[in-house]
Amino acid sequence: MGFLMPKMPAMPAPPPAPAPMPEAPKYDDTAREEDVAEKRAAIRRNRKGRSSTILTTASGLDDDETTTKKTMLGG
């Protein structure tokens, strides 16, 4: 009757315990502050972009030139 009631297999060994987690970095770390300051400086440097080539403002040209040349339209 041994073939009708087979033996139960042995339980496998439990896995080893996981390694402890490394300590989380500090929020007030000086290296982190230096990295953030460097990134902000790079953003400020690169922000110039095309705005330096635009010669007009919201109210028109930035120049104070006035021409004294007469125009044909009665001026």
Q: Yes or no: say if 42 and 36 are a contact pair by the CB < 8 Å rule.
A: no
Please give the pLDDT value at position 53.
63
Please give the pLDDT value at position 19.
93
Please give the pLDDT value at position 32.
82
SS3 percent helix, strand, coil of the chain, rounded to 5, is 30, 5, 65
pLDDT in tens, 1-52: 567 788 888 999 999 999 999 988 777 778 888 989 999 998 888 776 666 6
